Amino acid sequence: MQHLKPAKFLAMATACAALFTGVAYADPDLSAELVINEGELTLVTRAPADDIVPNLSERYSGWLFRDAATREMQMDDFENPAMIAVEAGEALWSTADGSAGQSCADCHGDAAESMAGVRARMPHLNNDGVLWSMEDYVNNCRTERMGAEAWRWSGSQMTSMTSYISVQSRGMPVAVQIDGAAAPYWEQGRDMYYTRYGQLELSCASCHEESTGLYIRADHLSQGQISGFPTYRLKNAGIVSIHNRFRGCIRDTRAESFAEGSDEFRALELYVASRGMGLSVEGVSVRP
């Protein structure tokens, strides 16, 4: 049997889907407004494209691609199941842990003040010029200052904490640094984004740039933004971290994926974050 190139396969699959369903491409629901808690906050889900995303006409949040029921779940802090993790993170914030007997609150005080803007800038260079994700900063505090054990990257404690910290930036525009000392990381991430991985030879761009708006089986392909992360995935009925999703995506190309907390994923995270500049941090979103 002739080996089908992935691009051709995708096109063929899409054509087949079109034959059967009559819908191969669908615009995301651009008229939908992401208003939280009946007017408390309106999140920006559309932002202009720029040099970072030359192949996109406009930046869209993943929220726009979801069906009405899923979108609704994110619009109310009560109905949003991710808020359970946020509350758990809030409790962890004030709980002393480690040999120093300190909690996050002891140094950082009220998270609403001290953590405002943090998620919007992640990932960013630490004082030594090394690119770190939010999870790295959390674990660094825990091991170096609290005398506590590091949390697993995607364990429930870490995801609760990153959820809680992210919410403090909800509504703020994604604004990551990609120039100066951050440039090499950004370029590494950009190269990864356009590299085809796995048996299926798919790059991030294959789905999220070339095919955004198309359907892959029944999934409506978004632009692959991470402005909504950490997110409550309906599939997992739990919080999914950025690296966890990267890992899953690459594994779905039938490749041996990179590890959570790897240098590769930190670089990819910086690049993907920059593709969402101007979109609002969604704190904790709801996705299928």
Contacts of 231 (CB under 8 A, 6+ apart): 82, 239, 240, 245, 284, 285, 286, 287
Select 56 or 234, whichever has its Cβ closest to another protein: 234
Which member of 104, 204, 207, 249 is catalytic? 249
Using an 8 Å Cβ cutoff, are 161 and 155 in contact?
no
DSSP category for residue 280: B
Q: Backbone phi, then psi, for 47, in 5-degree steps? A: -140, 150
d(CA 51, CA 33): 26
CB closer to another protein, 94 vs 126: 94
- Closest separation in Å from C-beta 248 to another protein: 6
Looking at the Cβ atoms of 121 and 152, the one nearer to another protein is: 152
Please, which residue, 145 or 254, has the CB nearer to another protein? 254
The residue (of 43 and 82) whose beta carbon lies closer to another protein is 82
Distance CA 27, CA 17 (A): 16
The distance of closest approach from Cβ of residue 256 to another protein in the complex, given in angstroms and rounded to an integer, is 14
Binding residues vs another protein (CB under 8 A): 66-70, 73, 78-79, 81, 83-84, 87-88, 215-219, 221, 233-238, 248-249, 251-252, 288
- Minimum CB separation of residue 125 from another protein in Å reads 31
- Annotated active-site residue 249? The verdict is yes
How many other CB atoms are found less than 10 A from the CB of residue 69? 9
Q: At its nearest, how many Å lie between another protein and the CB of residue 66?
A: 6
Instruction: Locate 49 and state its tokens.
Output: 């494209």
Evaluate whether 236 touches 229 at the Cβ level (below 8 Å): no
The residue among 47, 64, 58, 236 whose CA lies nearest residue 154 is 236
CB of 255 vs another protein, minimal distance in Å: 13
Q: Which residues are designated catalytic?
A: 249
